[in-house]
Amino acid sequence: MKGPASEGGPDSAATGDSAGAVTPPARPGRQLLAASVGNAVEWYDWYAYTFLAAYIAAQVFPKSAGNSLVPLLSTFAVFAVGFFMRPVGGLLMGAVADRHGRRAALTVTILLMGGSSLLVGLTPTYAAAGIFAPVILVLARLLQGLSVGGEFAASTTFLVESAGPGRRGLFASFQYVSTTVGQLVASGVAALLVANLASESMDGWGWRVPFVLGALFSVVGFWIRRGAQETRSEEQVRAPRPGLFEALRRHPRESLLICGITMGGTLAYYTWTSYLPTYAELNAGVAKADALLAGTISLAFFAVLQPVAGLASDRFGRKPLLLMFGLGFGVLCVPLLQALNGSFVTLLLVQCAGMVLLSGFTAISAAVNAETFPARVRAAGIGFPYSLTVALFGGTAPYLGTLFKDLGHAGLFPVYVAVLCLASSVVYLRLPETAHRPLER
């Protein structure tokens, strides 16, 4: 089976580092900070919407429908719409990263996210603006999707190219460390507001506070990223710029491989880290405050797991961890979700058990993706197929889970997650091991 690391397979990939095109940055810690702080801000803004979906539904969508789930379904539909801009962002910002540099793309994405977060925070209510309220919200989510899609493409490439020998898994793990920190802060801010504000205040103005904070955080992230060191080689800078669709046109197999790698992982990730509190409320009667608190604690646990799994992949390889995730979720997803019974402790244990398995995918997905494409088209090559797969399977997870409940078949959703994870496991079995190959520079 042909290795995916470069156009000429594993042999040419091995000569990429030896060609001396570029050396890892002299201050890798600073590179980690630049990527991680900005990425955390990006994902804080993105996830704040998820945690506050119920409040947004009550204010932005009409309540005239007889079914009380309709406003929530509408809000999660907008959540999915934002995801479908992510492939566009992955393609466009990935092309910017390949053509003009990783740092340039990272600067653009964080400015986009700050502006769109502020727009969500200033969205008028349906009572005040009518149909313009959901239109403004959709526009904001489209801009957020564009930013997040581009962020993954650029920051994944930036992180892995900043790593020294034998440390790509560790550096890649900070993609989800920072993502989780952003999500953790968003969850914590939401939980703090819910616990300390009266329901009238939360419905009226409290839900807007996290989005205004996100815009301010984006300014800080922008300032930090300006000091990052570019990771493209001089050879890449001098070479003709790749076309927008060059990665797809010249590397179709690698593009499909990214889709197969990501399919089960993104569905499990968004189910466990974003939708599970809502799932527990709808299907097990867990109180909203308890669900948010359990989510916050399990996210902190999840962040700690990432570097451990990343280091393990550098020593033992990527495939063992990927298979631990895929087969583990395929077998245990249904019984874990069926174990939810309304208890806070049970929910917390279920979430933490899933986080252990999920780390086998999240900690190393950035490294696996970067090791799949040659340097010339690495960011765009990762960005489009990855973001498209996330949109199809991750972005629709909250909507499908809520829809299954509305149709009276809530038990089908865990089966759906398990089947997709098993399907990705087939791909993992066929992957070549890339952990110990030099990365083409």
Q: Which two tokens stand for residue 389?
A: 């797969």
- For every residue of 137-156, DSSP letters joined together read HHHHHHHHHHHHHHHHHHHH
Residue 21 has pLDDT above 90, yes or no: no
Q: Quickly tell me which residue has 């300032």 as its tokens.
A: 223
Looking at 53-62, 157-166, 303-312, 337-346, which range is the least confident one?
A: 53-62
Q: For the residues of 354-402, what is the DSSP string, one character each? A: HHHHHHHHHTTHHHHHHTTS-GGGHHHHHHHHHHHHIIIIITTHHHHHH
| Domains of the chain with bracketed CATH | 26-229+249-430 (1.20.1250.20)
Structure tokens belonging to residue 387: 């973001």
**Given this model, what pLDDT does residue 322 score?**
97
- Is 120 a residue whose pLDDT tops 80? yes
d(CA 5, CA 392) in angstroms, rounded, equals: 26
What is the rounded end-to-end Cα distance, in angstroms, of the chain?
23
CA distance 11 to 8: 7
Quote the pLDDT of residue 1: 40
Whole-angstrom distance, CA of residue 109 vs CA of residue 45: 12
- Tell me 244's DSSP state: T
Taking residues 369-397, what's their average pLDDT? 87
pLDDT tens digits, one per residue of 246-289: 888 888 999 999 999 999 999 999 899 878 888 888 888 888 87
pLDDT value at 158 more than 50 = yes
- Confidence band (pLDDT; 50, 70, 90) for 80? low
pLDDT tens-digit readout, 244-253: 788 888 889 9
Nearest-angstrom CA–CA distance, 220 and 436: 36
Q: What is the pLDDT of residues 23-73, one digit of tens each?
A: 556 577 778 888 888 889 888 988 888 778 778 877 887 665 445 555 666
Q: Return the pLDDT at 18.
A: 38
Confidence of residue 422 (pLDDT cuts 50, 70, 90): very high
